[in-house]
Structure 1
Amino acid sequence: MSTLDRVLKDALQLSPEQQEMLLKILQNRYHENRRAEIATDAQQTLANFHTGKFRPQSAQDVISALRGVS
């Protein structure tokens, strides 16, 4: 049995109130982790920009590049 299967089996043994609490805890931790990942990525991107790895561009130039328009 995989770890996920065991976790799900154990979670189903909880009362409905505990299951709801578990869901909220998992959602909160997921969101916290995603925010931390996004913040780390943003810090790295800013560091790259400040060291000259990216050049300043207008919003219109970025949109055109994303659309494949020259």
Structure 2
Amino acid sequence: MVTFEQALDTISQLPPEQQEMLIEIIKNRLIETRRQEIAQDAKVAIAAFHQGQLSHQSVAEVITELRTILLESE
């Protein structure tokens, strides 16, 4: 297996244009991975809602709950 340091050394040997291409490829892969995670989370949440594990909330209730969570994490 290649170490992180070895990967960096290999990348530094590439021409700048290829390094930039590699950056874009990695960014796009990370974005796609995150999209898949969000989609999976949504499927789980929808299934939980349909099974009655989640309740209806108004927008105001959701905003209040999010603010509380954000304040607690500071």
TM-score, normalised with respect to structure 1: 0.86
2:21 is equivalent to residue 25 of structure 1: no
Tell me how many residue pairs correspond in the alignment. Answer: 67
Equivalent residue number for residue 35 of structure 1: 35
**Where does 1:5-24 land on structure 2 (aligned, <5 Å)?**
5-24=5-24
Mapped partners of 2:64, 2:31: distance in 1? 32
Mapped partners of 2:41, 2:13: distance in 1? 38
Unaligned 5+ residue runs, structure 2? Answer: 69-74
**Where does 1:50-65 land on structure 2 (aligned, <5 Å)?**
50-65=50-65
Over 3 Å counting, the alpha-carbon distance change for 1:62 and 1:21 in structure 2 is same
Unaligned 5+ residue runs, structure 1? Answer: none
Q: What value does the CA root-mean-square deviation take over the aligned residues?
A: 1.4
